[in-house]
Amino acid sequence: MSSDPAKRRALALSALVVASVVAGSVALAGTAAAATNTSIAPDDDDAGASNVTYTADGNVELDNQDTLQHIDVHLAPADVSDVGESDVQVYVDGDEFAGDLTQFDSSGGTVGFKLGDSRSVSDGDPVRVVVGNVTNPSDDFDANLTLHDTSDNQWQEYHDTVDIDTSPNVTYSNLTFDDGVADGNNTTVEVGEDLTVSATVENTASGSETYNASLRIDGSVVRYRNGTLASGERTTVSFVTDFSATGARDIAISDELSATEVTVTGPMSIADGSADPDLVTPGETVNNQEVSVRVANVSQDGDTDWHYVEFPNALAGNLSVNSANANATSITSSAELVEGYDDDGVTETVKFATSGDGGGDADLDLTVDASVTYPAGESTYGIDARVVDSGGDTAEVTNATTVTTSEVPSITDYAVSNPTDREVNVSFNSSEHLAEIAVDVADGSGETVTTLTEGDFTETRHNSTYTYDATTALSDDGSYDVTLRKAVDDEGHDGASGETESVRVNVLTVGIDGGAADPERVSPGTTVNNQKVAVTLANVSADGDTDTHYVEFPNALADGLSVNYATVNGSASIAQSAQIVEGYDDDGTDETVRFQTDTDAGGAVDLTVTVDTSVDYPDTNATYDIDARVEDSDGDSAEQDAVTSITVGETEAPIITDYAVTNPADRNVSVRFDSSQEIVNATVDVTNGSDETVATLTESDFSETNASGTWVYDTTYSAPSDGTYTATLTEADDADNNDGADGESGTVTLDSTPATIVDGSATPNSVTPGETVNNQKVCVQLSDVSADGDTDWHYVEFPNALASGLSVNSANANATSITSSAELVEGYDDDGTDETVKFATSADGGGDIDLCVSVDVSVAYPNGEATYDVDSQLVDSKIGSVTRSDVATIDATTGGDGGGGSDGTDGSGETDSSDGTDGSDGSDGTDGSDGTDGSDGTDGSDETDGSDEIDRTGGSDGTAGSDDGGSDGSTDGDDTPKYALPAPTVPEFDPVADGQDTRDGQPVTDDSPSPIGASQIALAVLAGIALLGVALLARRRRD
């Protein structure tokens, strides 16, 4: 076996072994083994206990010996913040570690430290860690301890759940109440009376415990008492308190005992009173003068409680009682008017009785309703109240409430208007200056959108009249109610009595946007049972009120007109069904459909209303205009004549004109036509030169424009290839399905291949210096020349050196005719010299064609030796100009053959069999080039012998049987013109004349090494790869 593969396999195996070892080490290092016989326990498991010592025990489990240096004890949520180094002991295999503890930290529930000296530990060794001065949490928790080596890598873990005893050690019981008046529990006390609250406190723990007994009233601690009890000891704690107000209180000692409700009662009293109204106009009679009195702590013992509401004597003569009522009990004796408890002999007091039997005391709201006529003068009348409780208590109060008679502001001329846009103006007069004003503006749904106050109003005074005026802008159209809520003078007298005015705000006015009829065209004498007319409306008021609509047909249709129904879109609904009425033109003819709608969406909305009618159309051609009118609920109206129209009459098919099919560019086929009517269905079939349909264009493919009543349709189709395409209009229907198509058709030929100058040749192509050649022919081979019937221009440009001895004989083309004779002109190089033969052709066969054009000139060649290059240009009628330099070369050197035949042709496209070929008389070189000395043949270069094998023995371009002995580009008896394409160029190899090759500009002899081509390099690389593969395969087999 070779050494390199063996080394590679050894290295791979070694790498695998190293990777496995590393992975195993990482796996072992990353996993901490679990100890056995582990426990983590406190010496006191009471919740919240402090100075607790935790002991963690366990036997380590190891495969081999390890070292112990770092230890972490995790006790969170226990509090370890008080743990110090002296509170920690470590025991390994029964021996206490006596060294120092470093890196000590006790925070966040974890105690961590490092042994000053590491200890060796073996499998099964017991390790104990003791941590003192810990404060227990309030509930169970998971604790763990981890052991680490000298690098702080964890290799062992203890885990345990610590159970915390959450049961209380101090208990509370036997909650009692004593008010000092009666023995036992008394949960009803008087205001200000002392109440003793007691409870029993007991220590159930094994050791002494402290307690904190607190008196809680309505959940709040108001007093507390601390103490200490020995194990099993109990005591009674008591608190004395009182209450300053009546009501129910929740009382407990500490939060371990449930609260008990204690009722605090007080002496019966009259808290307050009120009158409604409390301000009246002097001399006014108030039929329902209400006086209310609140009485506290009325006995609910089932006995009768008497109540008195005493009016002033000044009101007695005009006072009568209507009724009395109480909120929390029943009236047991109806209200009556009696002499008051002042014993003045005047009947001015309302007396009635209640009786509540719910137990304890109750607060009552008492109300009397009386009729009072107040005197004419301004005054204030105090009303007194008295209650005689069934328990013997009596309470009375003077002026429990008052009623004042005073002049209030007189509000007049209250007015609301819409001066402009969405503004609302409010104005009114007052007999007094007003200190407070409130005006509410509410929309149609009753929602207040704004409130005007005194700051919004201007005040003007004229004599004793005050005028107030304010203007506000609203955000929406609609109807609004504007109400005066307050008109209060400086004494607090309110003169407002709910004055209200409505106003309509309307910036947007109703309008008719248009209409449509369906059908809009019918035949004479037709009855249309569902003739629909739709009208589009804008800014219709959505105030919930009724809007009225009219759709008026012509009088000529009145006799045959009946209505089916009307509809409306959106949130609106039909408020009154459609009916035939006399139109709004008041002409006495019933020709109009009238109906009503409403909507309460608010603001203004756009609507479309539609009437469905039955119409008998007369048997004559006519156009009937339909008018429309809308009357909006806010007072606006709009109408429009001829909102739509219906045409009656036989319809004509669309007239199609100016149908054109063109090729605007590339392979695009453009189809365009005009129509006298709008086209709704159009079809254009596109066929190719084989009459196969390649595409069908429809109305959706066309663009549509309306130019002064003429409808113009245009589209462009992209053909997949060059060729001839015909586009035929097969359908052009209007809305009534009248077809205007009449087979209109157009054909276009597509040619996207540009014309090119392929090659050229000269006959003769070798002349003697000083010779005059009377029929010097130059042939130019062209491809893809446009055959569109237009003129194509040709230019054959000779060198300036030949211009003085140059004249033109003729020009010809093989596949078309000469449309402009050849003439000698200045060349397209614009150098001022007439050296160019110009002529024109015009082929009209369609598409593109290949041409061979030639010129016949007379040339007097100069005496000096030279080589003359001939250029050519084509100006194609479709694609423009294309130019090629050196399309042919004429050799005028002493080595020329004196006019022998070149390439076997005479320039006319006919084979010249008389003046030699590339192998008979040395044409294309006097020294046998291309045929005599083996160049391009003898060494196997650039020629074949008629087979697919390279001829390395001889025969040049015609002597080895190629093309039956034909020369370069010659024919073998065939009259078809031939032309040669340029020879492919191989890098670093150029074919040259005179039978020699060159490299770096120097001749290369036949025995010189040949240049290496790209294909040879590629073959060499492939061969090298193959040999390398075989060698490797053989080596592998040997191995």
Q: Answer whether the bond into residue 519 is a cis peptide, omega within 30°.
A: yes
Tell me which residue has tokens 């009375």: 396
| Phi (first) and psi of residue 454, to 5 degrees | -55, -30
pLDDT tens across 608-659, in order? 999 999 999 999 889 999 999 999 988 889 999 999 999 987 667 889 999 9
Q: For the segment 506-558, what is each residue's pLDDT rounded down to a tens digit?
A: 777 889 999 999 999 898 999 999 999 999 999 998 888 899 999 999 999 99
Q: Phi, psi at residue 298, to the nearest 5°?
A: -85, 135
pLDDT at position 991 over 50: no
- In this prediction, residue 449 carries a pLDDT of 95
Q: Quickly state the pLDDT bin for 940 (edges 50, 70, 90).
A: very low
Q: What is the pLDDT of residue 795?
A: 95
- Please count the other Cβ atoms lying within 10 Å of the Cβ belonging to residue 691: 7
Q: Is the pLDDT of residue 29 over 70?
A: no
- Least trusted range by pLDDT, from 32-41, 110-119, 331-340, 785-794: 32-41
Domains of the chain with CATH codes: 32-162 (2.60.40.2230), 170-265 (2.60.40.10), 269-405 (2.60.40.1510), 411-486 (2.60.40), 511-648 (2.60.40.680), 656-750 (2.60.40.10), 757-1004 (2.60.40.1510)
Residue 739 has what DSSP assignment? B
Highest mean pLDDT among 20-24, 136-140, 651-655 belongs to 136-140
Q: Would you state the pLDDT for residue 938?
A: 37
Tokens coding 433: 């200056």
Write down the pTM of the prediction: 0.33
Instruction: Return d(Cα 310, Cα 342) in angstroms, integer.
Output: 9
Mean pLDDT of the 777-792 span? 90
Q: How many CA atoms lie within 13 A of 70 on its CB side?
A: 13
As a three-state string, the secondary structure of 912-956 is: CCCCCCCCCCCCCCCCCCCCCCCCCCCCCCCCECCCCCECCCCCC
Residue with structure tokens 């009437």?
A: 611
pLDDT above 50 (res 951): no
- Peptide bond connecting 77 to the previous residue in cis, omega within 30 degrees of 0: yes
pLDDT the model gives residue 216: 94
Which residue, among 850, 857, 812, has the nearest Cα to 836 in the 3D structure?
857
Residue 997 and residue 1010: Cα distance in Å, rounded? 10
Distance from C-alpha of 171 to C-alpha of 237, rounded to nearest angstrom: 12
What is the arithmetic mean of pLDDT over 300-312?
92
Output the DSSP codes for 814-832. SSS-EEEEEEEEE-TT-SS
Q: Please, what is the average pLDDT of the chain?
A: 83
Q: What is the dihedral of CA 508, 512, 514, 515, to 10 degrees?
A: 140
* pLDDT score of 182: 53
Q: How far apart are CA 610 and CA 565, in angstroms?
A: 9
Distances (CA, A) of 799 to 782, 823, 906: 21, 16, 21
Residue 569 is predicted with a pLDDT of 94
- Rg for the chain, CA atoms, rounded: 62
pLDDT in tens, 179-207: 766 555 668 888 888 899 999 999 988 88
pLDDT of residue 476: 86
Only one residue has tokens 């009236």, namely 331
**What token pair was written down for 665?**
């560019």
pLDDT tens track for 481-512 = 999 999 999 988 889 999 999 988 877 788 99
If we measure between CA atoms, which residue out of 289, 4, 337, 41 comes closest to residue 164? 41
Q: Which of 559, 556, 599 is nearest to 575 (CA)?
A: 599
Higher pLDDT, 720 or 837: 837
Contacts (Cβ under 8 Å, ≥6 apart) of 592:
550, 551, 552, 553, 580, 581, 582, 583, 584
- Would the pLDDT of 133 be above 90? yes
Spell out the residues 6+ positions from residue 712 whose beta carbon is closer than 8 angstroms to its own. 672, 673, 674, 675, 704, 705, 706
